Chain A
Amino acid sequence: MAVGTAKIKSAGAAQSPLLGFAMFSPAVLYIVLLIGAPFVLAIFYAFSDARIGGGQLHYVGLENFRSIMQSPSFRQAVKNSIIFTICAQIIVLVCSNILSIALEKPFRGRGLVRFLILLPWVAPVSLGTIGWKWILDSIYSVITWLLIWLGFVNRYTPPMWLGQENLAMASVILVHCWRLIPFSTVILLAGRTAIPKEIPEAAAIDGAGFWRTLFQINLPMMIPILGVAVLFGTIFTFTDMTVVYILTNGGPYDSTQTLPNLAFSQGIQGSDLAAGAAISVFLIPVLVVIAYLMLRVAHRAEVN
């Protein structure tokens, strides 16, 4: 009976190819219009002299790339993007591992804690970041107030969280981590629960303590899922501009400038579409290499 219906359905689809086309066209349209077209346009602009409000377009070859390579802002942004991504990934991995271990075993109120931990991921990025901007404000910072109250900081020379070069970078990284940790925690929690219960138990019987079980049994078994978490985290971090844009807009003195924010500020705010496009296109090979490496790690671990 079920086979019969399936046959009729597929026969119907075969008779009207239009139906099949209508079914998948929204997805294709979405990808073509919102991802494909801007992507092609960006590559096109990157080799032209496009300006906002400018008239004719001219092919300029690699001129845009040559000029951004020479710009100190760009070199700073490349360096910052790498630092930003690597530091954020390390912190996120360590913290989300700790959290996933803490949340694995049932305890009273675990559901509530899981919900609270997920909040930063669920809340709109811009709202959360604006909240952090307030927390890190030069005058109204609640952190500074707390540190003064505890006596760690001099009331007359308080730290400027977003105004000093190193502190600004640290602040941007930490706020970004705050946002990514929930996501990573959920992924690692899934990976951890996928390990059969007997395996850590066997390790306990074999005499392994907490650290040995973690580093020699659990984490190696979680490599595929860790790969997924790092892959997504890296891409989210490397391409993210919201946190930097809202907190510092790349300042002070480009000390927190990252590639996406630089592309936006030069291309849109600075009207130099061609330079912005060239900076964005510069991200692509980097991301492709990262994606390839991560997928290979994940695949190899899966095969093993």
Chain B
Amino acid sequence: MAVVETRKLTKVFKQGELGAVNEVDLVTREGEFLVFLGPSGSGKTTLLRMIAGLESPTAGEILIGGKVVNDLTPRERRIAMVFQSYALYPHLSVYNNIAFPLKAQKVAKNLHKEKVEWAASLLGIQGLLKRKPRELSGGERQRVALARAIVREPAVFLLDEPLSNLDAKLRLSAREELERFHRRVGTTTIYVTHDQVEAMAMGDRVMVLNKGVVRQLGTPKDVYDDPADTFVATFLGSPPMNLIETEDLIIGFRPEHFRLAEDMKELDKVPFKFRVENVEYLGAEFILAGFLVGGKADGKKVIARLLLGHNFEIGSTYDFAVPERQLKFFDRTTEKKVPARALSWQ
């Protein structure tokens, strides 16, 4: 097991263009499950590929287990990677797919069978060893890819959107399985995804990236409750955080904190008049879209997420409020988080 570290890691694909990854500093913790989260084009996969050794950095250093590995080939880095497409070798049986890393790394032949069986039993695919990849379902392929990755007992696990090829139902069970798998092997794991739900559910820590820059690195709770900037605030959460621009600030609050004033027990609350324009009934909750009425924020669009129990009429105005401690403040120009301050809304 080992710690992955990057120092001012940068990748520029075309000279003169903006980098795909810009000066990323990162230190993983021993055995943690770290998620790189970002929209497509945010540089998360490029960053992972540089750590894997499939892409050479333009500048900066990569360290694995305290050793600079910039000039090492992927095989010398002792990493394992699971690709988005799983990249199983289509002409080899499952057994030979899993045994391939052992052969390639010249592990003694008499150990192959034992190790392949160990990896296969860890993922519950002992029954599939004779099959070819094309005879497997999506979930089985994923397990074979994981078995192939684990068989050589790597120092670091890299996973590149391994769930995105599965259908929604399978994705949930595969996610749980991955979590259990990580708890069992305890290897430092870096997981790339664009799915905030996956990131929140699986990550010990989440690193949010946008345009090749790290926006925030923290526990799922940190990035959700205390976003470092407006990008993180709106990327996480569905529906995203409401942002209201004032003269010099951007005020944010989550839809679930925007509730009927009469229901709110908190003493410090900021009242708003809310005119409902659209109601979505989602079974367990309502999503209300509308705009604020009166005061400085007049006409600003906001979204509220409420539990059932009330009836709302489109076109009517209601008394809503946000607990004061749930208000987030961002600088209008830098869009970065700033300390909370008192506001007058009238």
Contacts and interface: CB of A to CB of B under 8 A. Distances in A.
Interface of A: 196, 198-199, 201-209, 212, 216-217, 220-221, 223, 304
28 contacts: A198-B85, A199-B89, A201-B87, A202-B89, A203-B89, A203-B100, A204-B53, A204-B54, A204-B75, A205-B53, A205-B79, A206-B100, A206-B104, A206-B105, A206-B148, A207-B75, A207-B101, A207-B104, A207-B105, A208-B75, A208-B100, A208-B104, A209-B104, A216-B100, A220-B91, A221-B89, A304-B90, A304-B91
Contacts, number: 63
A212 B101 CA distance: 11
A197 to B, nearest CB: 9
A212 B99 CA distance: 14
A202 B91 contact: no
A283 B226 CA distance: 80
Contacts of B80: 205
B152 interface: yes
Interface in B129-158: 132, 148, 152
Interface string B75-109: 10001110111011111000000001101110000
A120 B129 CA distance: 48
Contacts of B323: none
Contact of A201 (B54, B88, B132): B54
B91 A199 contact: no
Contact of A198 (B87, B101, B152): B87
A162 to B, nearest CB: 44
Contacts of A202: 81, 83, 87-89
B205 to A, nearest CB: 24
DSSP majority for the B interface? loop
A201 B83 contact: yes
A56 to B, nearest CB: 60
Contacts of B83: 198, 201-202
A94 to B, nearest CB: 21
B75 A205 contact: yes
A32 B83 CA distance: 53
B73 interface: yes
Nearest to B134: A304
B152 to A, nearest CB: 7
Interface residues of B, number: 25
B74 interface: yes
Contacts of B79: 205
B319 to A, nearest CB: 55
B52 interface: yes
Which residue among A198, A201, A207 has the maximum number of chain B CB atoms within 10 Å of its CB?
A: A207
Contacts of A201: 54, 83, 87
Interface of B: 52-54, 73-75, 79-81, 83-85, 87-91, 100-101, 103-105, 132, 148, 152
Contacts of B74: 204-205, 207
A217 B73 CA distance: 18
B54 A221 contact: no
A196 B54 CA distance: 15
A205 B91 contact: no
Contacts of B90: 199, 221, 304
Contacts of A196: 85, 87
Contacts of B53: 204-205
Contacts of A199: 87, 89-90
Given A205-B54, A205-B75, A207-B75, A212 B87 contact: no
A209 to B, nearest CB: 8
Contacts of A205: 52-54, 74-75, 79-81
B119 to A, nearest CB: 13
Contacts of A212: 103-104
B146 to A, nearest CB: 13
Contacts of B87: 196, 198-199, 201-202
Given A202-B81, A203-B89, A206-B101, 6 more contacts: A202-B83, A204-B75, A206-B75, A206-B152, A221-B90, A221-B91
Contacts of B91: 220-221, 223, 304
Given A204-B54, A205-B80, A207-B101, A217 B75 contact: no
Given A220-B91, A221-B91, A304-B91, A203 B104 contact: yes
Contacts of A304: 90-91, 132
A202 B132 CA distance: 17
A206 B102 CA distance: 8
A209 B148 CA distance: 17
Contacts of A208: 75, 100, 104
A235 to B, nearest CB: 26
Nearest to A199: B87
Nearest to B105: A207
Given A198-B83, A212-B104, A304-B132, A204 B73 contact: yes
